[in-house]
């Protein structure tokens, strides 16, 4: 598997020369300064690619080429937005960048309620607490009908948290929820978030599914024409949030979207952490079922609680059987190489990571420290080497 590393561009606190020392050979990045829906020019793509190649690395995956909110809302004349997306795909292909990760999560990207939970051995982790999510939803947003969507015991804890919380604590929770937009500089206060959520009022899961299918039908033919593989990132966490439907949360959702446009270029980013937070998701089974349409892999782990809370674990700890997932992906790589596929090696990156040692001294994006991800990459590299050796799979 191709070892890659997410890099947020020149302003990232982790520099390209440091990434090269991790052993990664590929970079996962995007042109985060370009607003959603605007065409990525060949010139801008070429400039970023040249910067990466000057450091002895290659631009392996785009993460993300964002989908405009209007497309998810089905709002107005969408053809200009589809046309811009198609043009960006053509421009990426012209510069030799042929794998594009995107997501279809409305309004928010990944969502946590704590960014620095202390770990027993030192360091910190990201965490999603169900009661803090409920407190924000019911008592800060005051979303109509929200209380009926949370378990009674979670709601009781949420009320106790809210009643005891200072204004600064509530502000910190809002900032933490907004931190899940790592490549975007769009942030909302509570009234602003209410207005954005109001736009989705009445939009059902089936509605959002239909809009995802419309998006795929609009852009996948161009991707296939120019040789770009699109790969959707699952919802994180894989459940509705703040009344927003989510439609890439489980095995059935993945099957639906892959069948919507049933070609190789319409694929999956297999994220073991996002899907792993779903209590009914069997990650090794999902990895095996959709291996042939998996174009990119995020490997991380979570430990789940009965109330719906979860915490980012070490890459080889937590509830996901990482060895079984890696084995499935390496088996697929072997199949592709035997078929003579030019792109048989599947890129992966160590996703998120604990803040360890002096990680806290850098101002990195939450979840993206240097040392914590380096530890994860080293652990995953060891698993891959061992599995490949035992099974005879190509690494």
> Which sequence positions are flagged as catalytic?
233, 271, 298, 351-352, 368
Cα–Cα distance list, 90 to 29, 217, 220, 223, 257 (Å): 17, 16, 12, 8, 22
Contacts of 54 (CB under 8 A, 6+ apart): none
Q: Helices (DSSP H) in the chain: which residue ranges?
A: 16-21, 42-54, 69-73, 79-94, 130-135, 152-164, 167-178, 190-198, 205-226, 251-260, 272-276, 283-289, 322-338, 370-391
Do 257 and 284 contact (CB within 8 A), yes or no?
Answer: no
Sign for the pseudo-dihedral over CA of 33, 38, 43, 45? positive
DSSP 140: I
Which two structure tokens, joined as six digits, stand for 246? 């989510």
DSSP 146: G
């Amino acid at each position: 598997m191709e070892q890659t590393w997410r890099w947020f561009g020149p302003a990232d606190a982790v520099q390209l020369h440091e990434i090269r020392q991790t052993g990664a050979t590929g970079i996962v990045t995007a042109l985060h300064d370009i607003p959603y829906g605007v065409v990525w020019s060949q010139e801008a793509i070429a400039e970023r690619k040249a910067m990466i190649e000057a450091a002895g690395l290659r631009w392996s995956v785009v993460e993300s080429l964002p989908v405009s909110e209007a497309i998810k809302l089905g709002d107005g004349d969408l053809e200009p937005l589809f046309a811009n997306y198609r043009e960006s795909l053509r421009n990426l292909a012209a510069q030799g960048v042929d794998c594009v990760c995107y997501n279809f999560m409305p309004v928010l990207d990944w969502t946590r309620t704590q960014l620095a939970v202390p770990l027993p051995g030192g360091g910190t982790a990201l965490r999603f607490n169900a009661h803090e999510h409920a407190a924000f939803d019911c008592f800060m947003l005051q979303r109509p009908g929200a209380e009926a969507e949370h378990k009674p015991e979670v709601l009781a804890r949420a009320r106790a948290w809210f009643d005891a919380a200072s204004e600064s604590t509530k502000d910190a929770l809002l900032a933490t929820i907004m931190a899940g937009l790592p490549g975007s500089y769009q942030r909302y206060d509570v009234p602003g978030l209410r207005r954005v959520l109001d736009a989705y009022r009445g939009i059902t899961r089936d509605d959002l599914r239909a809009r995802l299918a419309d998006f795929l039908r609009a852009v996948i033919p161009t991707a296939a024409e120019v040789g770009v593989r699109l790969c959707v990132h699952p919802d994180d966490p894989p459940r509705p949030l703040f009344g927003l439907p989510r439609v890439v949360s489980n095995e059935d959702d993945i099957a639906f979207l892959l069948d919507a446009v049933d070609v190789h270029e319409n694929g999956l980013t297999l994220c073991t952490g996002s899907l792993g937070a779903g209590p009914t998701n069997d990650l090794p089974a999902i990895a095996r079922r959709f291996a042939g349409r998996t174009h990119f892999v995020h490997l991380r782990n979570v430990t789940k609680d009965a109330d719906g809370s979860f915490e980012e674990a070490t890459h080889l700890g937590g509830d996901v059987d990482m060895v079984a997932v890696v084995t499935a992906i390496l088996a697929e790589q072997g199949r592709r190489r035997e078929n003579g596929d030019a792109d048989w090696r599947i890129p992966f990156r160590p996703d998120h990571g604990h803040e360890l040692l002096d990680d806290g001294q850098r101002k990195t994006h939450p979840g993206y420290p240097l040392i914590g991800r380096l530890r994860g990459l080293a652990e995953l590299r060891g698993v891959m080497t061992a599995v490949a050796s035992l099974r005879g799979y190509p690494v």
